[in-house]
Amino acid sequence: MKPKRWGMIVDQRRCIGCHSCTVACKSENNVPLGYWRSWVKGLQKGDFPKVGNMFLRRLCNQCDSPPCVQVCPVQATVRRPEDGVVVMYYGKCIGCGMCIAACPYDARFFNPIRKTADKCDFCASRIENGLEPACVEACVSKALIFGDVDDPKSEIFNILAAVPTSVIKPELGTKPKVFYIQADHSLKGRIQFSEDFKEAIIDYRKSIPSPDATYWETRDQK
Amino acid sequence: MEASVLYNVPHDIPWKVFIPLYFYFTGLSAGSFILSTLSTVFGIKRFKPMALPAAIISFLLLLLAPACLIVDLQQPTRFWHTLVPEYFNPTSALSYGSWLLTLYPIANLVYIYFIYVKNDRVTKIIGTITVPLAIFVHAYTGFAFALVRARAWWHSALMPGFFLTSALLSGIALLVIVAMIMDRLRSEKLELDLYKSLRIMMIGILLTDLFWTGSFWLTLLVSNSDGHASILLALHENFYLWGEIFAGMLVPLAILVYPGTGNNKIWLSFASVLIICGVFLMRYSVVFIGFDIPLS
């Protein structure tokens, strides 16, 4: 049988920011209080009266070339060849924290009860039994679409072929399998600075060119 | 257009101060070991009196270093998982590191034994085998960072070289202090030439470290947004700019270069203490400035 490659589409046009996916994830995976496997990032853009509220669903991107698997010293986290999901083996994990430091999406954390690293695994126990992940099932506006990205008959394949999608931080070559429809550039895991540094940063920007560095341009500059 | 995050989930920094301490101890150990082999392997007779104390210091620090690593684990009792051949991950620097950290102290102990029984021929053979181990045991820590592509502050090919030179630097500085103490305690005095060569080595390596630092600054300033941001944030950190660069590199360099202070033993030991602290700050800043930029 051909190996599957599970993936997810997050349709930003449909997301209403209700956090159902966050709640469903926490209750399905028994995530301790104060920790999240997946969450919704909220962001506000623009000036009154033209203001936009935006949401970005964050979860493990299930990379095809995962930096966390690369650095694990004990192979406690692997990309399963049969379905492309990056899973944790909690019994092996020594809790060194290298994978947490290496994840470009900050999707990993120390589970304080299990005392190991933890992460979203597309609800591995559910998809093994033919169910969809808990967040997909809980989504009220069908903003989350889950399926085999290699199967031409699946819904996700059709959408990926017909609709422009983007991934977070493609420049790192991690080949994520979580695709976003109409995700704003300012939403996608970019850096936010505290006010203290803005002056200095803008001063440097004037003298030294830096590609892709536009996110700290303030309204004073316009 | 200004965008502000209304809410987001950042995750905690997974490491505590034990991690930079670990890098610091392995660095000191590798540095003093290489210094110890200068006479036994490379045949520079001037360093002969330093061979045994340097090797013993190097071994003692090697007991501290893995202890720091294990204390920082969330599951300390599972540290032996790193040494199970089945679990070995060929792409992980930490996998190689844990094997090196096991082999190197053993080789080091054998080496100390043969210096102690004054068997110069065997010492040379064992030392020759152990020198690459000492280099790798510290260079791997540089690779552990250099191979993390998510964080611009770490993802640099200069990292292993920088780690090695500052390891040597801290090793030499520690040995200057030890030499001073030996001079006080022993009846036969050490040659002044020894201090002179240690001083010249320190100047050379300090200049190399400054060169690395300058290369980091320049490449990061014209790097992508994350790299650019990390150097700007780093320059706002007092412990980086004033601690590591000014007090840990520039001040000792000035003391060592100026003949009036460089040849004075009190100034020399003062510079060594500054260097030892500066190298710790270098480890600290490498680890924790890397976490300054949120990735979520």
* pLDDT tens across the length of chain A (222 residues): 788 999 999 998 899 989 999 999 999 999 988 889 999 988 777 777 888 888 889 999 999 999 999 999 999 999 999 999 999 999 999 999 999 999 999 899 999 899 999 999 999 999 999 999 999 999 999 999 999 999 999 999 999 999 999 888 888 899 999 999 888 766 655 554 445 555 655 554 454 444 444 444 444 444
Q: What is the pLDDT of residues A105-129, one digit of tens each?
A: 989 999 989 999 999 999 999 999 9
CA distance B35 to A62: 47
Give the strands of the sheet with A39-47, arranged side by side.
Answer: A50-58, A39-47, B3-7
Residues 116-135 of B with CB under 8 A from A: none
On the question of pLDDT at B171 being above 70, the answer is yes
Which tokens is A176 given?
A: 């994520």
For chain B, the straight-line distance linking the first and the last C-alpha, in angstroms and rounded, comes to 20
Task: Identify all chain B residues contacting A204, using CB atoms and an 8 Å cutoff.
Answer: 221, 228, 232
> Using N-to-C axis directions, what is the helix angle for B120-146 and B18-40, rounded to 10°?
150
Q: Does B77 touch chain A (CB under 8 A)?
A: no
Residue pair B108/B51 in contact by the 8 Å Cβ criterion? no
**Distance, C-alpha B213 to centroid of its chain:** 15
Q: Which two tokens stand for residue B221?
A: 């300033």
DSSP B226: H
**In the A/B pair of chains, how many CB contacts fall below 8 A?**
185
- Ramachandran assignment for A95, one of left (phi > 0), alpha (psi -120 to 50 degrees), beta (any other): left
Cβ-based neighbour number of residue B20 at 10 Å: 20
A37 vs A107: CA distance, rounded Å = 7
The residue in chain A having the minimum alpha-carbon distance to the alpha carbon of residue B19 is: A96
Token output for A132? 């969809």
CB of A129 within 8 Å of any CB in chain B?
no
Task: Give the ipTM of the model, two decimals please.
Answer: 0.88
Please give the helix or strand (H or E) that residue B142 lies within, else none.
Answer: helix B120-146
Please report the pLDDT score of residue A194 as a whole number. 46
Least Cα distance to A139 among A21, A50, A52, A53 occurs for: A21
User: Which chain A residues are within 8 Å of B155, Cβ to Cβ?
Assistant: none
Report yes or no: A195 and A102 within 8 Å, Cβ to Cβ.
Answer: no
With CA atoms as reference, the chain B residue closest to A97 would be B14
